[in-house]
Structure 1
Amino acid sequence: MRSSYQAVYPDVYAPAEVSLTLEHRAKAAWLWSHREGIIAGLTASALHGARWVDPALPIELVWSNARRPPGLITSDVRLRPDEYTSLHGLRLTTVARTAYDLARRGRLDDAVARLDALGNATGLRADDVMACARRHRGARGLRQLGTVLDLYDAGAASPKETWLRLLIIRAGHPRPHTQIPVVSLDGRRRYYLDMGWPGVMIAVEYDGEHHRTDDAQYARDIRRSEDLRDLGWLVIRVLKADRQSDIRARIERAWASRLRGDRGIS
């Protein structure tokens, strides 16, 4: 056993050569619960397709067992029959119930980013989460849940885009649209802008590291920038090293430029 298998949880083993993924560990946790537990929280979010979930995080499981092994978080909560489903042979909380749980815990901005990621993968509707909340009146964290849902936007393609959108909103600007579709003048290329205001043709985009390390991506970015300039978009590109005060100042200048009727690119 020791040479051929690795212990995942008590009485649950996997072949020694297998590199355990979050999905592997989730199934192992379910087996440890005698196939009765329900995968929940961030683990359920990842299984529903959400990106940006750390695969090394403990597996979250609705299961009444206070003596949980390392690598597991168990909770003894009551779920309605319509709050869990089956996926890949496992039982896990529905998208709406998962969002309801994630929105009520942790820092506000982290909760918004988690819902954005879940919504980006599943098309989560805020109304469905509120319907879940109405069935659990008096639960902890409902005030934060309402705030999170107000800030939620499934158009965020990464936690950094969520962070940037919240920075813009808190600077007092109108709430930006996300994933704005744009077609080049010749009709041959279609783009999606991270966020911005189509009415004044201002876009704000977060540039990841790949934009400077991938030559093919860099060439596409040049063509994209030229197309957007030709269309009259004013694009503010935000980098990881940019200070928040500088980002806010650049957006202020962009709005001032548009109010003056200027047609430049920043």
Structure 2
Amino acid sequence: MRSPLRYAAARQHGAFSTRQILSCYTRDELRARVRSQQWKRVFTGSYRHAGSEPTARLRVHAAGLSIGRPVPACLHTAAELLGFGVLDDPVTHVVVGTALPCTRRDELWPHQLLIRPGDVTTLRCATATTDANRTAVDLARTLRRLDALPILDAALAAGACTPEALAAEIEHHTGLPGVRRARALVDLADARAESPQESRMRLLCHDAGLPPPTPQLPVRDDGGRVRRWLDLGWEEAKVGLEYDGADHDGAARRRSDRRRQNWFTDRGWDVYHATDADVFGNPAPLMAQLATALARRSPRYR
């Protein structure tokens, strides 16, 4: 890569524009490098070298080159940059303000968001993004509840937000769509959750009217030492809930899971297991089983 373009790409985390290319290459040379896949298109009018990864930083800078001016990241893209992007989203989300068009194209979605002073921060990597509290609340307002609580939990776990800061941010969104739902979810957010599925299971327990479980509940052996953790647990009743994902397939994992289950059984625990069919399908039978177990094992929950 010729020096002027190499320097431009370095400043832009690997992204470069058609205009920058044509400052030191001909249009035929541009086409030849794209055909040979030496350069890959990111968005309209922006490219990256084939050897560079399309990170969130690169994509945000490429978005600015495509739109024609620097733009801050928002929503899922901002969450990824800020350390709590726990939901996969191939789209690059950026803010263009309320005065510019926001035509969606090539996995680039500009958003006409009203930005207050202080809503945008520039990270140490020189990439602009909506700040953590604004990002978390924007997502909590616009996502379905099963996806919004994992974002809020992850924002707290990453140390990017605090419950108090999220509650204060919510007040700036009064009257906007989804704010009442988001306010209720902020009250439920918990930094102890370690995965989106744990957050979703906790929300399902809440919606079913179950007592609040403890996320990542430590369980002690007969000598009083912590030996195991449960995704969710009710310590007094000795009832636990675990999520079994795709990584639980395979003979070695099944053997490990059986040993783990036996360990809990030996110590008087009833441990239930949820799958994606319970979380995204019909959770009612599992929630009813948990309610029955809690009532049977603890007078407090009858």
- TM-score of Structure 1 vs Structure 2, range by shorter chain: 0.7 to 0.9
Equivalent in 292, 296, 299 of residue 253 of structure 1:
292
1:7 alignment partner in structure 2: 41
Tell whether 2:79 aligns with 1:61: no
2:122 alignment partner in structure 1: 86
1:236 alignment partner in structure 2: 272
- Cα distance in 2 for partners of 1:78, 1:214 equals 53
Equivalent in 107, 110, 113 of residue 71 of structure 1:
107
Task: Please state how far the C-alpha of 1:76 moved relative to its aligned partner.
Answer: 3.2
- Judge conservation of contact 1:60–1:73 (CA < 8 Å) in 2: yes
Equivalent in 200, 218, 223 of residue 237 of structure 2:
200
The range that moved more, 245-254 or 115-124, is 115-124
* SS of equivalent to 2:219: strand
- Judge conservation of contact 2:214–2:233 (CA < 8 Å) in 1: yes
Task: Please state how far the C-alpha of 1:75 moved relative to its aligned partner.
Answer: 2.4
Task: Please state how far the C-alpha of 1:180 moved relative to its aligned partner.
Answer: 1.1
Task: Please state how far the C-alpha of 1:14 moved relative to its aligned partner.
Answer: 0.4
Task: Provide the TM-score with structure 1 as the length reference.
Answer: 0.82
- Cα distance in 2 for partners of 1:248, 1:144 equals 22
1:98 alignment partner in structure 2: 135
Task: Provide the TM-score with structure 2 as the length reference.
Answer: 0.73
- Cα distance in 1 for partners of 2:158, 2:55 equals 19
User: Aligned in 2, Cα 1:229/1:124: closer, same or farther, shift over 3 Å?
Assistant: farther
Percentage identity across aligned positions?
Answer: 32
1:226 alignment partner in structure 2: 262
2:9 alignment partner in structure 1: none
Equivalent in 157, 160, 181 of residue 144 of structure 1:
181
- Judge conservation of contact 1:36–1:63 (CA < 8 Å) in 2: no
One-letter amino acid of the structure 1 residue matched with residue 42 of structure 2: V
1:16 alignment partner in structure 2: 50
One-letter amino acid of the structure 2 residue matched with residue 247 of structure 1: L
- Cα distance in 2 for partners of 1:71, 1:197 equals 43
1:264 alignment partner in structure 2: none
- Judge conservation of contact 1:123–1:154 (CA < 8 Å) in 2: no
One-letter amino acid of the structure 2 residue matched with residue 66 of structure 1: P
Equivalent in 197, 200, 204 of residue 167 of structure 1:
204
Task: Please state how far the C-alpha of 1:208 moved relative to its aligned partner.
Answer: 1.1
Task: Please state how far the C-alpha of 1:194 moved relative to its aligned partner.
Answer: 0.8
The range that moved more, 245-254 or 223-232, is 223-232
- Judge conservation of contact 1:25–1:59 (CA < 8 Å) in 2: yes
Equivalent in 139, 155, 171 of residue 118 of structure 1:
155
Task: Please state how far the C-alpha of 1:244 moved relative to its aligned partner.
Answer: 2.5
- Judge conservation of contact 2:83–2:160 (CA < 8 Å) in 1: no
- Judge conservation of contact 1:48–1:122 (CA < 8 Å) in 2: no
One-letter amino acid of the structure 2 residue matched with residue 59 of structure 1: T
- Judge conservation of contact 1:184–1:228 (CA < 8 Å) in 2: no
* SS of equivalent to 1:89: coil
- Cα distance in 2 for partners of 1:189, 1:221 equals 18
- Judge conservation of contact 2:239–2:271 (CA < 8 Å) in 1: yes
- Cα distance in 2 for partners of 1:108, 1:119 equals 17
One-letter amino acid of the structure 2 residue matched with residue 54 of structure 1: D
- Cα distance in 2 for partners of 1:150, 1:133 equals 11
2:75 alignment partner in structure 1: 41
* SS of equivalent to 1:50: coil
User: Aligned in 2, Cα 1:145/1:188: closer, same or farther, shift over 3 Å?
Assistant: closer
CA radius of gyration, larger in: 2
* SS of equivalent to 2:93: strand
- Cα distance in 1 for partners of 2:290, 2:149 equals 22
User: Aligned in 2, Cα 1:13/1:72: closer, same or farther, shift over 3 Å?
Assistant: same
User: Aligned in 2, Cα 1:109/1:27: closer, same or farther, shift over 3 Å?
Assistant: same
Summarize deviations over 1:194-222 as a string: whole Å, max 9, x none. Answer: 1121222211111112122261x444433
Summarize deviations over 1:13-49 as a string: whole Å, max 9, x none. Answer: 1013445344432332244456631111011112222
- Judge conservation of contact 1:113–1:159 (CA < 8 Å) in 2: yes
